[in-house]
Amino acid sequence: MYPSEFEYFAPQTVAEAIALLARYGDDAKVLAGGQSLVPMMKLRIASPRYLIDINRIEGLSDLRRDGDRLVIGALCRHADVGASALVREVLPIMTDAAGLTADIQVRNRGTVAGSIAHADPAGDWPAVLAALDTDVTIAATSGVRTVPLSAFIVDGYTTQLEPGEIVTGLSVGIPPAHAGGAYVKFEKRAGDFAVASVAVQIALDGTTLRSVAISLGAVGPAAIRATAAEQVLQGREASESLLMDGERLVREAAQPFADTRGSVEYKRHLAGVLFRRAFAGALDRANGREISTIHM
Ligand SMILES: Cc1cc2nc3c(=O)[nH]c(=O)nc-3n(C[C@H](O)[C@H](O)[C@H](O)COP(=O)(O)OP(=O)(O)OC[C@H]3O[C@@H](n4cnc5c(N)ncnc54)[C@H](O)[C@@H]3O)c2cc1C
């Protein structure tokens, strides 16, 4: 199908983009990689009257370290993150996410910030970045504000973004030494959205789990933090019985719905299995062992 008619703008600066967004309000949409928006426009799920293409704006493709934070500009593509030696070094869980998102074509165009703005409950970035200390930077004609990701995504496909606002970038806390994370995704076909996915980020104090963050993707209306499992694991040493408790609490935290990808029981079980694999990967990395992305 063809999209409805729309007027196209290609601003050169953030100021121009937000002026256009302020002028057209609800009738305007930002176009980043177009990998979610364009299919939705073709299906007429989305019919913006004004399309504000941000791809010509300079300075939005950042992927750099700023002190103890990783800065990711709004035009940073999945493939940029996947190819980054810096990301592999400081946050290899994000290398996992970049390599497991969609296929090469989509990864070359789609942006990390676009995935967050789109807030697909089965999206890889919402699941991974929810396990990390992630902030979202938002610009509007009224100024710039920064909100934690946990507040930014309010529900599936729903964020705090108001008409007239644009995400200019993300920033992610770089974990201290003896920390590690891993993201594991189960998909029915290569390049597909997750049936279920789990991100685990831990920090160690000797052999004690100093901090544990567990985020579940595709098993709820939005990414879910498995807080009860996190609390049980924190301050303890990893053991088989502790991890069995963690796995049970992860399964209980999942709120999947049945669809063509699987039943509620199947997805719940899968979340537990993926948790165990992601935890093992996170522990390896926290102990300084280099492991490549875990493929299921
Ligand atoms: C075949 C296929 C397979 C896919 N598989 C996966 C997968 O396995 N996992 C996965 O997570 N995703 C998958 N995707 C989605 C893909 O990752 C998209 O790139 C991503 O969801 C959106 O990023 P984008 O830059 O393309 O955003 P766009 O499509 O340009 O925009 C998406 C939405 O976000 C808004 N938006 C984008 N950027 C901004 C911004 N800076 N400020 C404000 N609003 C903004 C747009 O207005 C729009 O509403 C797939 C897509 C396709 C076509």
Domain with residue 232: its CATH number is 3.30.390.50
What 8-state DSSP symbol labels residue 279? H
Query: In this structure, are 93 and 137 located in the same domain?
Result: yes
Indicate which residue's Cα is closest to atom 39 of ligand 1.
114
Token pair recorded at residue 226: 């498995």
Query: In this structure, are 98 and 148 located in the same domain?
Result: yes
How many angstroms does the Cα of residue 85 sit away from the middle of ligand 1? Answer: 24
Does ligand 1 have an atom closer than 6 angstroms to the CB of 163? Answer: no
Residue 2 lies in a domain: no
Pocket test for ligand 1, best of 9, 14, 37, 109 (most atoms within 8 A of CB): 37
Query: In this structure, are 17 and 96 located in the same domain?
Result: no
Question: What does the pLDDT read at residue 27?
Answer: 97
Residue 291 lies in a domain: no
Per the listing, tokens 């396990």 go with 131
Does ligand 1 have an atom closer than 6 angstroms to the CB of 271? Answer: no
Q: For residue 112, which atom of ligand 1 is closest to its CA?
A: 23
Residue 190 lies in a domain: yes
Query: In this structure, are 45 and 81 located in the same domain?
Result: no
Indicate which residue's Cα is closest to atom 52 of ligand 1.
35
3-state secondary structure of 280: helix
3-state secondary structure of 128: helix
- Single residue among 119, 151, 173 that ends a domain in this structure: 173
Q: For residue 167, which atom of ligand 1 is closest to its CA?
A: 42
Does ligand 1 have an atom closer than 6 angstroms to the CB of 127? Answer: no
Query: In this structure, are 195 and 275 located in the same domain?
Result: yes
**φ/ψ (deg, to 5) at 6:** -145, 160
The whole domain housing 46 covers: 7-53
- Single residue among 173, 192, 210 that ends a domain in this structure: 173
Query: In this structure, are 94 and 19 located in the same domain?
Result: no
Residue 71 lies in a domain: yes
Q: For residue 48, which atom of ligand 1 is closest to its CA?
A: 47
Residue 109 lies in a domain: yes
Q: What is the CATH number of the domain that holds 17?
A: 3.30.43.10
Query: In this structure, are 184 and 270 located in the same domain?
Result: yes
Residue 72 CA to residue 63 CA, distance in Å, equals 5
Query: In this structure, are 73 and 43 located in the same domain?
Result: no
Does ligand 1 have an atom closer than 6 angstroms to the CB of 243? Answer: no
Residue 210 CA to residue 202 CA, distance in Å, equals 7
Does ligand 1 have an atom closer than 6 angstroms to the CB of 57? Answer: no
Query: In this structure, are 85 and 12 located in the same domain?
Result: no
Residue 90 CA to residue 144 CA, distance in Å, equals 27
Interstrand relation of 28-31 and 50-53 (parallel, antiparallel or unpaired): parallel
Q: For residue 110, which atom of ligand 1 is closest to its CA?
A: 19
Binned average pLDDT, 10 residues per bin, the chain of 296 residues: 94 98 97 98 96 98 98 98 98 98 97 98 98 98 97 97 97 97 96 96 98 98 97 98 98 97 97 98 97 93
How many angstroms does the Cα of residue 278 sit away from the middle of ligand 1? Answer: 25
What 8-state DSSP symbol labels residue 237? B
Task: Report the domain count for the chain.
Answer: 3
Q: For residue 32, which atom of ligand 1 is closest to its CA?
A: 30
Token pair recorded at residue 184: 């594991």
Going from the C-alpha of 31 to that of each of 48, 56, 111, the distances in angstroms are: 10, 11, 10
Chain CA centroid to CA 236, Å = 28
Token pair recorded at residue 142: 């009224």
Query: In this structure, are 79 and 118 located in the same domain?
Result: yes
Query: In this structure, are 160 and 92 located in the same domain?
Result: yes
Residue 77 CA to residue 32 CA, distance in Å, equals 9
Query: In this structure, are 193 and 273 located in the same domain?
Result: yes
Does ligand 1 have an atom closer than 6 angstroms to the CB of 102? Answer: yes
How many helices and strands in the chain, by DSSP H and E?
A: 12, 14
Residue 209 lies in a domain: yes
Candidates 44, 165, 67, 51; CA nearest to 113 is 165
Residue 231 lies in a domain: yes
Question: What does the pLDDT read at residue 99?
Answer: 97
Q: What is the CATH number of the domain that holds 146?
A: 3.30.465.10
Residue 274 CA to residue 183 CA, distance in Å, equals 9
Residue 89 lies in a domain: yes
Q: For residue 165, which atom of ligand 1 is closest to its CA?
A: 43
- Single residue among 106, 138, 173 that ends a domain in this structure: 173
Q: Which segments of the chain does DSSP mark as H helices, in order?
A: 14-24, 37-42, 78-83, 85-90, 92-100, 104-109, 112-118, 124-130, 149-152, 227-233, 240-253, 264-286
How many angstroms does the Cα of residue 23 sit away from the middle of ligand 1? Answer: 24
